[in-house]
């Protein structure tokens, strides 16, 4: 089981989050795209998704809706 899935196109930022989560004994993985997140969630149980949202993005609500439709029990931090 995966504790946390980080969705962030900035891998340097995501690695910093992953490093912290691993230090707290969480199992964590990072993906860059919504498509990769949905694919990963279909293969692994996960409790929390950390979704990076950038100021110039208009699709954050769409991304959250898409994740919830595919996996309704996951919790999202955006």
Alpha-carbon span 21 to 26, nearest angstrom: 5
Contact at 8 Å (CB) between 48 and 6?
A: no
pLDDT given for residue 16 in this prediction: 86
Q: CB neighbours (10 Å) of residue 49? A: 24
What is the reported pLDDT for 19? Answer: 87
pTM for the predicted model, two decimal places: 0.85
Half-sphere exposure of 2 (CA within 13 A, CB side): 21
- Report pLDDT digits (tens) over 27-74: 999 999 989 999 999 999 899 999 988 766 677 888 889 899 888 899
**Cβ atoms 78, 37 nearer than 8 A:** no
DSSP 8-state assignment for residue 24: T
Q: Convert the pLDDT of each residue in 7-33 to its tens digit.
A: 998 888 888 888 888 889 899 999 999
Strand partners, 75: 48
């Amino acid at each position: 089981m995966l504790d946390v899935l980080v969705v962030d196109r900035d891998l340097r930022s995501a690695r910093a989050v992953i490093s912290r989560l691993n230090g707290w004994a969480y199992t964590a993985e990072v993906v860059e795209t919504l498509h990769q997140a949905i694919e990963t969630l279909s293969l692994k149980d996960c409790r929390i998704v950390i979704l990076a949202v950038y100021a110039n993005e208009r699709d954050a609500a769409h991304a959250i809706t898409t994740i919830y439709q595919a996996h309704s029990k996951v919790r999202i931090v955006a």
